[in-house]
Structure 1
Amino acid sequence: MVRFSVSKIYLGQDWFLQIIAGIVTILTVSELYKRANLFISVGQITLIYIIAYFAFFVIHEGSVETLKWETFIWFVLCGLATLFVQPLIYAYEKLFGLVSDVSLLELSDTNSKLLKELSNKAPGTFHHSLNVANLAEASANEIGANAMLVRVGALYHDIGKMKSPTYYTENQSTGINPHDELSSKESARIITDHVINGIEIARKNNLPDRVIDFIRTHHGTSVVYYFYMQEKKDYPETEVDKLDFSYPGPKPFSKETAILMMCDSIEAASKSLKEPTSTKIEAFVENIINKQIEEGQFLNANITFKEIQSIKKVLKHKLANIYHLRIEYPE
């Protein structure tokens, strides 16, 4: 009976020790953007095991005379053994379709093969993607979204433009616009096709599905408004079908993909701002995002109006810094 009670006590201590170590593990490995963080995390977990085991032993036995000190050596050796889990992360991600912080950090490297190719073939698009990534990361941090994921998604969201870069204004350095020789429908098709082309390029280069989601959703089901209005102007007596000028979708379905849609639209349209002031920028940001809300682009995303307001505030502040604006004081 005594042995049974003692074994139950030790079993309870063991469970409690594992729970404490598990909590510490969750808290310390949530952001492994640097390899050094893995060593720090393993050290913290091992230390918790040693302290907790020592405390339980002293509480139960009342002294350290019968303590087996070699147990602590085993704790340290087990801690070191966990460092060998690093190579297994890649296999685990592929098996379950997950993306770790380490993988996101690698994908965010602008010297990677795919981003290098983007910068060579479509330098304007590459610069646009960098700006969008900075805006999206700041917005994600503001509302507690996954900043690293949205940054990576922003870097790759327009890779489909590599297929025909000169059809996009940011890459037209010669002043020649190839759309001048095309009909509005043909131009709209080329513009919207960069989403499909981007998905194909991403899959060919083995980008994770969570990153491809940003390529698929960054325009949602919005309309290529310029060519849509051009078609209506050219054929005033004909009813123009919006579907011929719309992106295939789907709409954003997470906070991160919704953030990218907002930042992408704001950054691209901001190039058309003439003599920007704080008042103009505020109205500009409000109009673009409110239009997206009215079109129902964020209905599938778990993002609140409060979070959207916070994102608007960040974008206004960032654009004001980009254009080096001062606060307008009342006269």
Structure 2
Amino acid sequence: MSDNSSYTIEEVSQLLRVSKLTVYDLIKKGDLPAYRVGRQMRVDHDDIEKYKSKNKTGARNERNPPKEQGQTARQTSQIIISGQDIALDMLSKHVENHTSFSTLRLYNGSLNSLMSMYNGECDVVSVHLYDGETGEYNTPYVKRILVSQPFIQMNLVQRQAGIYVQKGNPHQINSMKDLSKVNIKMVNREIGSGARILLDEQLKKQGIRPQSLNGYDNILTSHYSVASAVAGGQADVGIGIENVTKMVNVDFIPLIMEQYDLIILKENEKLVEAIKETVKSKEYQTQLKQFYGYDLSLSGKIIFDS
């Protein structure tokens, strides 16, 4: 009898006793069928059982059964796009609608996405990693991590990054220096996120020890949740991007215009061309223009070609 239960990626990783990235890799390779429900991936119970049965020692390999006469293989390839901005959800849909690729979404921060690409677990990743030594975005980090893998770095959008404060800015916070005020409580992002790296680099410039800040170890995992914590009074400040302020009732102190770039390995030439065409398409850019806070003046520009 069929079981119509379904599981999240985390639940599948627990059932199979492997990491979540291993589960994503199985999905990417087509070994484990999955589908989207909103922003979440789901796997059916029956498909997990079929995967387990198929990979038992001595089991017949049915992954590539012989084709019937006249049958043709489906000309699609599955890719994983990693990053947290809604612009990537839109990119994913456009790629599926206008190319031969089908897409899965992974919602990791910049540095973790980049490490997933290094480990062969992602095909397209987004990054917004500020390098305090050079003043550049992204390229220094990507060159260090993908040291032996040629890649394309393409701008998707530019976004204003800065400090969320409560309405009316009651604590008179105007710069990074003000985060060290005794009566200020902050909320932070997770290690590996672009916002966390921007914060750490800016604190380093100001000579402020991160651990001296009240709330530095209070972690949330999205711009929206950080802004909501500030709006709700759980914190006085947080670091994030400006466009969230259209959804959450906070004020915003701008710090820097950040580059939000896409990284694609050059080994997949067809994918590189598909992403280029999508990002530069009038349809995609028109949709991006409907959202507050995106600067499209560099969209589609190749920032680095290794």
User: More helix by proportion, 1 or 2?
Assistant: 1
User: More strand by proportion, 1 or 2?
Assistant: 2
